[in-house]
């Protein structure tokens, strides 16, 4: 880290302003430098989705922290396995993940929750939940869509 150098490797840090401090709990000693670590923090939360039966739902989640957090997904309290049928998980560089469900099935997915979890070994894991609402063809469409279609039939 710029401007910080080791003064007494066991107990103190010499700052450029010529004062010394004890290392705090969020500083880790690695060889001859101190590296700041940060617990994970969600920067992009997954959003609720409203999808037609047979369609595609996509959820995005991003986290920051040091080290860069691992971001993964859970459904019904269980981790979503990568490559599982209907589920695709894409790792987004620097602490992100995209969950894609295709095809969405009303009988299995309606009003279900997906949970984004971020952890990096510093502090507790953090999570956010989004809901998936599935409707059958013709149900749950905005009023202007119904009026548009009624006028043309």
Q: What is the pLDDT of residue 152?
A: 43
Instruction: Note down pLDDT in tens along the chain; length 153 residues.
Output: 333 333 333 334 444 444 343 443 445 555 555 688 999 999 999 999 999 999 999 999 999 999 999 999 999 999 998 777 899 999 999 999 999 999 999 999 999 999 999 999 999 999 999 999 999 976 665 433 443 444 444
Name residue, tokens 């999570």: 127
* Nearest C-alpha neighbor of 40 from the set 62, 18, 11: 62
Other residues' Cβ atoms within 10 Å of the Cβ of residue 152: 6
Contact 41, 128 (CB under 8 A): no
Domains of the chain: 5-36 (no CATH), 40-135 (2.60.40.10)
List C-alpha distances in Å: 60 to 32, 82, 111, 115: 38, 15, 18, 11
Q: How far apart are CA 114 and CA 101, in angstroms?
A: 11
Contact 61, 128 (CB under 8 A): yes
């Amino acid at each position: 880290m710029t401007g910080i150098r080791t003064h007494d490797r066991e107990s103190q840090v010499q700052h450029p302003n010529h004062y010394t401090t004890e290392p705090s709990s969020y500083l880790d000693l690695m060889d001859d430098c101190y590296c700041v670590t940060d617990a994970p923090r969600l920067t992009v939360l997954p959003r609720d989705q409203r999808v037609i039966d047979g369609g595609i739902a996509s959820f995005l989640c991003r986290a920051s922290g040091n080290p860069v957090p691992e971001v993964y997904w859970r459904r019904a309290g269980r981790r979503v396995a990568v490559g599982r049928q209907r589920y695709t998980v894409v790792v987004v560089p620097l602490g992100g993940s995209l969950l894609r469900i295709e095809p969405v099935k009303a009988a299995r997915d309606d009003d279900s929750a997906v949970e984004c979890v971020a952890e990096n070994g510093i502090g507790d894991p953090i999570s956010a939940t989004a809901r998936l609402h599935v409707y059958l063809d013709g149900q749950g469409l905005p009023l202007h869509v119904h009026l548009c279609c009624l006028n043309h039939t």
